[in-house]
Chain A
Amino acid sequence: MHPAAAREFLSDPARAAWHDQTLWMVRVKRDRMAARVPEWEQLREAASRIKEHTLSRLAEYLEEFSARAEANGVRVHWAADAEEHNRIVHGILAARGVTRMVKSKSMLTEECHLNPYLEARGIEVVDTDLGERIVQFKNEPPSHIVMPAIHLKRAEVGAVFHEHLGTPAGMEDAQELAEAARQHLRGHFLGAQAALTGVNFAIAETGGFVVCTNEGNADMGAHLAPVHIACMGIEKLIPKAEHLGVFLRLLARSATGQPSTVFSSHFLKPRPGRETHLVLVDNGRSRQLARADFRKSLACIRCAACFNTCPVYRRSGGHSYSWLISGPIGSILAPNVDKKAHSDMPFASTLCGSCTAVCPVKIDIHAQLLKWRQEVVAAGGSGRAKPLLMRLTAFVLRRPALYRLGGALMRLAGPLANLLRLDPWTRHRDLPPPPARTFHQSLRDKSKP
């Protein structure tokens, strides 16, 4: 459960403060970079409308996109769910005798648990994004969708590299560690028989797709290995190439406060004599598309700005959420995947709305969190105590006499609670000193003749 996991995270205050401050600085960088674009809010509006339009005609765009991609020589595959996605990817690899694959960042393959599926079938998968490689060594899920290893300190990374890469014990310099990873992964890029990448944007009118990285790992993989497999959720479509102008202006500025990702690679056709495969994955997206209240969540471009701005995420860490996409956007996507298993995620928020205000595609994240709460509770996903408490509260508040009595008792009990500090409120904070009379009491007194 999120509250317990968050408490665990907060039990190391120095680390928690570091996590908070580090991600807050990313938010500050985003602010600075966005402020340099005078038409920023207009861009957000355009991005939001383009996505809404695309989602409203998604079937047509998927048909257009896949037809053009095929005409470009790309082999297009369709996967209804994670299982089928994994089967398709494995099928491609097995048919070509691939035993070594490099992979760049793809939250979709995490969602489908592709790595264990392939590993169980004798295929070595090497995550090549530095952060992903670190968590892969640690056998942990990423804790952030853009900075997968943000929960780790450099000494821990040093220890992981010492164990797996044989770097000297105690190496803690980020530059040296990154260099070690570069050397290590170069070997894998050169030896890989296939490369898998994610997709940031797929363009219906051209059949092409765009992959954005800062490290260059997607390109190192895709342009060296004979087989390139790109996996994308069906919501990654945009209608036209000119729309990339809007999204690429927003993506890196929102994500890391850079004016652009270092590499924005536009794949259209396979290299001569080589293969490009594209796997289009539904895995619950069409179900989410059908939910009018939650449809807009599919507009997400995975910039993670909502993570960085979220005061709860910053103070509880990605691993405190029950789904691998954590933070605000994860909390409105996860209940679509499994309402029961992720019932607490929509509650891991104060509904402050910062996520909604920062989101480059204007997803009404906090409003959707509130709506998911209703759905989770209606499905019986919030246990027994909470609903009872709420019913009791509503019962009391509807009845003037009970309300006055309850209020008086509460005011009487306050000082004692402050002393005992047993309840979740007073464990952390005092209740205010109770006033002698309520507002209405004194109004009544005044109006007496």
Chain B
Amino acid sequence: MRLGLFIPCYMDQLYPRAAHATLRLLERLGHEVECPDTPACCGQPMSNSGHAALGEDFVDAFARRYAGYERVVSPSASCLLHLKEGLEARGHPLAHHAHELCEFLHDVERVEAFDAAFPHRVGLHQGCHGLRGLGLGRPSERMEPHFSKPERLLKRVRGLELVELDRPDECCGFGGSFAVFESDVSAAMGRDRVADHAGHGAEFITSTDMSCLMHLGGLAARSHPQIKVLHIAEILAGEV
């Protein structure tokens, strides 16, 4: 099918590798993928800091630009959640055709195996917006059977060993502008997350959100330089 790929601005600028991995994953599944070349902000930074009105046109722009695709896929759960909420509020049909990457691979494509090997100990950071917002898994607060789409996908990668964490889905403390305006609490939260992964012998931390990983990776670079962060698309694409 014809897919629209949404790469958020900060991934475009700082994490092109993860974006390419996403693109190739989707192409390998036989899709025709396009990624409109315009600044792609979802408007969440404005909304999160109390300026939702400033962010509204970003949702409108997204709706216009991506309306023609059968489905839209994004490797950023957080941005996608914001866009979906905006689209739902507008009653825009695209709300139901926009997917976070893992959701797309798991629910729409039902990928059973990846042509990928990653013989490493990996910690999965379940980003809050993917987990609690998009429902990519069952958050630990809820008394329902456990499931996690990213986890299931990672288990289909040869040699990959998922580490257990003490706190399986505590927030990393990124939180958008929170990381800047509440930087002390933000960093304290992130350090604890990194320590949890490190304590369980993770060599890599992966996630559905590069923003969480930017924060965690930036902290790990100073406290646990042996730990690297990788977007889940990079692991699933088998390109590391």
Contacts and interface: CB of A to CB of B under 8 A. Distances in A.
Interface of A: 2-3, 6-7, 10, 16, 20, 24, 31, 34-35, 37, 40-41, 309, 311-312, 315-316, 347-354, 356-358, 370, 373-374, 376-378, 382, 386-387, 390-391, 393-394, 397-400, 403, 407, 410-411, 423-432, 434-435, 437-444
Nearest to B210: A432
Nearest to A408: B13
B186 interface: yes
Given A2-B182, A3-B181, A429-B219, A410 B16 contact: no
Interface of B: 7, 9, 11-17, 19-20, 35, 37-39, 41, 45-55, 57-58, 128-129, 132-133, 139-144, 167, 170-171, 173-176, 178-190, 192, 214-215, 217-219, 221-222
Contacts, number: 197
A378 to B, nearest CB: 8
Nearest to A391: B54
Nearest to B167: A24
Given A24-B167, A374-B50, A438-B13, A397 B41 contact: yes
A356 B173 CA distance: 17
17 contacts: A2-B182, A10-B188, A31-B141, A311-B171, A347-B50, A347-B178, A350-B171, A352-B132, A354-B171, A374-B47, A378-B50, A394-B46, A394-B54, A398-B57, A398-B58, A411-B13, A425-B183
A397 B50 contact: no
A432 B214 CA distance: 7
A403 B173 contact: no
Given A393-B46, A437-B16, A312 B182 contact: yes
B37 A370 contact: no
Query: Which one of A348, A377, A382 has the greatest number of beta carbons of chain B within 10 Å?
Result: A377
B49 A390 contact: yes
Nearest to B169: A354
Contact of A41 (B132, B143, B178): B143
B12 A429 contact: no
Given A354-B141, A430-B222, A373 B49 contact: yes
A429 B186 CA distance: 10
B140 A31 contact: yes
A429 B173 CA distance: 12
Contacts of B45: 390, 393
Contacts of A37: 143
A386 B49 contact: yes
B182 A6 contact: yes
Contacts of A427: 183
B182 A353 contact: no
B215 A429 contact: yes
Contacts of B14: 411, 431-432, 434-435
B54 A425 contact: no
A353 B133 contact: yes
A425 B167 contact: no
A400 B39 contact: yes
Contact of A352 (B54, B175, B190): B175
Given A403-B9, A410-B13, A442-B16, A357 B132 contact: yes
Contacts of A358: 141
B47 to A, nearest CB: 7
A439 B48 contact: no
B142 A41 contact: yes
A376 B50 contact: yes
A435 B14 CA distance: 6
A311 B187 CA distance: 12
A141 B222 CA distance: 38
A439 B12 contact: yes
A373 to B, nearest CB: 4
Contacts of B218: 425-426, 428-432
Contacts of A374: 47, 50-53
A392 B156 CA distance: 44
B37 A440 contact: yes
Contacts of A424: 179-181, 183
Contacts of B17: 435
B60 to A, nearest CB: 11
Contacts of B7: 439-440
Given A3-B181, A370-B47, A394-B51, 12 more contacts: A20-B192, A374-B51, A374-B53, A386-B49, A397-B9, A410-B13, A411-B14, A429-B218, A430-B218, A438-B12, A439-B12, A440-B12
A358 B170 CA distance: 13
Given A350-B174, A393-B45, A429-B222, A377 B186 contact: no
A407 B54 CA distance: 20
Contacts of B214: 431-432
Contacts of A397: 9, 39, 41, 58
Contacts of B58: 394, 397-398
Query: Which one of B15, B48, B185, B186 has the greatest number of beta carbons of chain A within 10 Å?
Result: B185
A346 to B, nearest CB: 8
